[in-house]
Structure 1
């Protein structure tokens, strides 16, 4: 990756840092806020997180089509403005003590996340297929800022006002304004559409490729399993008599583990291949469940298991996203990326919505078992898929 590409990618990484700070705070906070706003039955406590992810899933295709028509920069501006509105609605929900309005606000913040998911693909487009993995990794590395800043801000702003956590959502609104300022000055090169030069296949044909199937499987099950544990972990820790500071500490380290490997994941993929990194990610997710079962429910047990979970997610998600870019032509990018991300976040919304209910009904250990099952499916799938496959290699040659 040359200096010119680096200069183009860095603003995207900065926007990603703002987005992921928002996301980490939302995921770590909304379950607790939902828990506080509900009555005796707390089984819907993670619903505000599920609506956030549902907003992402619902807007993934529209966001991709919007950017295809109006450009990446315009799409990023629209998405961030929606996120700003969502944060303001969440503030109103807290002052009104309304669980329903909170869910509406998080739904809109999820739409912001849908647009922001394309930061990594914008970076990959600018860097070319050879450096796509490194570009995706570099953008996702912006999440380290979110991992450090997010939990700390949540701790320091939760009691700024008489209504607990109102200050945190005000911070999220200010963060969206910063992202808007960066995007207003963002200059992205126009990626030439090859629709007139090559045939664009239907998504049903694209999705039948072994490499595409493996990419979607890795990203989807990795994200769903990670989110199921991440969203329920703070509630599980509170129920095991740990304090909010302990929960924030664990989530902070989990988020660091999610994004810190991004500095090397791209290079590892270039050296060993996406399939090998996906297998390693699945093994780490399995290790997360095993470690939690062995170590119990102390703070250290949560810390170890969620750090392993974070690194596993990084390898699964970056590996899946990189593999995806090798299995479509440039003219097919919008629908292939949208199909991938919509599948990821629809599945994650379901797993997140169920996590609070499952935690209350069957407990933390069962959630660990379900995550281990998802990791096993990915591991078996990665054994079935051997990279590079002939179809993926042929497609890469056609798209050059």
Structure 2
């Protein structure tokens, strides 16, 4: 079987990778600067990370409406709408900084989160463009765009944060809006949009043959995949949200903090060059399991010291763990639904994932104030332990099922 992406599948993966590069800069800017701007505008230090939390809430709340819009109007229409929301969010956040309004700044990050609810579906759009064995590779191709996003977001922050001397970080959010608008011409190059289910009577009839959602989500593999995906993303968000404030609080510079986020995001998406190959070689469960163990290792390093190196190495390991854990879990989810069921299942999965991310980012700021950086990292271990047990159970369960089928 041909293991290379060809035709429209290849085209869509490349276009979606470019869109990921632009859209991926959106959360990087909010995470790197949201807490710092929040500390300047918020009425109390406990609310400093609220803009980042509201970004994740906007993402979680936007997942189901985004899926509905793309199901009715197609993915291209949805991605255009998402880019316009992202541009609006950047400009409103800038205006909030300009007039010193914490409320308006938070509104801007919510809109940025709604934009992200469309961006996060790029991986599924790529997977839906190819046959089953190539889905992990298509997902990985899209995630490679995050490498460009990491460098792009960092350079934008470093070169625009002081471009308006009287408004620190204000210029960065204008740049964020411009990047969102730059996605519009790329969207036109997408082909064979598979998300439209209302285009013909035949498509509508086919869509009606899907199983009830409850039947799908009761599958053991789906349950474990969601647990692994939500844990990988939530733990990553939990630590990443707190890290800029923790670094600045420990006396490190904003530049060191921003570069730490850059290395983290590079680590998040860099392995995507070979994650798909690793999944085909070792299996989805093994790759997902290794991701969770790397996240635990990140906390071990973070607990080992407060130097810039400790922060950076911890953030790099955290990014690597997220890549293996989240891509592996996403690939597991794609095994659990039929073609006509994908929109509902993908939206439900992402609602659970990003809902948990919103909760984790909100609690991150509170926990940092009350228990410090060590408290943030200590929470990692029991959560990773539960997920490792669930993945091992699934591995033995599938082996036993395969043995029964062979008999």
TM-score strictly above 0.5:
yes
1:273/1:387 contact within 8 Å kept: no
Report how many aligned residue pairs link the two structures.
Answer: 391
What is the aligned partner in structure 2 of residue 108 from structure 1? Answer: 111
2:136/2:331 contact within 8 Å kept: yes
- Using the alignment, how far apart are the partners of 1:234 and 1:292 within structure 2? 13
Distance 1:363 1:178, change over 3 A: same
Residue in structure 1 matching 2:369, options 360, 373, 377: 360
Residue in structure 1 matching 2:354, options 319, 326, 345: 345
Instruction: Output one character per residue of 1:45-102: Cα deviation in whole Å (capped at 9) or x when no partner.
Output: 1110111110110010111111111111111111111111111111110111111111
Indicate the RMSD between aligned Cα atoms, in angstroms. Answer: 1.8
Q: Aligned pair 1:141/2:150, yes or no?
A: no
What is the aligned partner in structure 2 of residue 329 from structure 1? Answer: 338
Q: Aligned pair 1:166/2:176, yes or no?
A: no
Q: Aligned pair 1:7/2:16, yes or no?
A: no
- Using the alignment, how far apart are the partners of 1:392 and 1:300 within structure 2? 46
Residue in structure 2 matching 1:203, options 213, 230, 241: 213
2:288/2:329 contact within 8 Å kept: yes
Instruction: Output one character per residue of 1:300-345: Cα deviation in whole Å (capped at 9) or x when no partner.
Output: 1101111111000001110011110000111111110011111111
CA displacement at 1:390 relative to structure 2: 8.6
CA displacement at 1:115 relative to structure 2: 1.0
**Runs of at least 5 residues in structure 2 that lack an aligned partner in the other structure:** 198-202, 403-407
Distance 1:239 1:190, change over 3 A: closer
- Using the alignment, how far apart are the partners of 1:21 and 1:267 within structure 2? 26
**Runs of at least 5 residues in structure 1 that lack an aligned partner in the other structure:** 394-400
2:74/2:195 contact within 8 Å kept: no
What is the aligned partner in structure 2 of residue 376 from structure 1? Answer: 385
Residue in structure 1 matching 2:126, options 116, 123, 127: 123
What is the aligned partner in structure 2 of residue 75 from structure 1? Answer: 78
1:144/1:259 contact within 8 Å kept: yes
Q: Show structure 1 runs of 4+ deviating over 6 A.
A: 390-393
- The aligned runs of 1:221-370 (5 Å cut-off) are 221-294=231-304, 296-370=305-379
CA displacement at 1:185 relative to structure 2: 4.0
CA displacement at 1:195 relative to structure 2: 5.9
What is the aligned partner in structure 2 of residue 52 from structure 1? Answer: 55
- Using the alignment, how far apart are the partners of 2:187 and 2:209 within structure 1? 33
Describe the SS at the equivalent of 2:128. helix
- Using the alignment, how far apart are the partners of 1:46 and 1:128 within structure 2? 41
1:72/1:188 contact within 8 Å kept: no
- Using the alignment, how far apart are the partners of 1:45 and 1:74 within structure 2? 35
Instruction: Output one character per residue of 1:110-129: Cα deviation in whole Å (capped at 9) or x when no partner.
Output: 01100111111110011121
- Using the alignment, how far apart are the partners of 2:340 and 2:381 within structure 1? 37
- Using the alignment, how far apart are the partners of 1:189 and 1:240 within structure 2? 48
1:127/1:135 contact within 8 Å kept: yes
- Using the alignment, how far apart are the partners of 2:327 and 2:204 within structure 1? 27
- Using the alignment, how far apart are the partners of 2:154 and 2:53 within structure 1? 20
Describe the SS at the equivalent of 1:127. coil
- Using the alignment, how far apart are the partners of 1:388 and 1:331 within structure 2? 27
Residue in structure 2 matching 1:181, options 185, 189, 192: 185
- Using the alignment, how far apart are the partners of 2:119 and 2:155 within structure 1? 22
- Using the alignment, how far apart are the partners of 2:222 and 2:396 within structure 1? 11
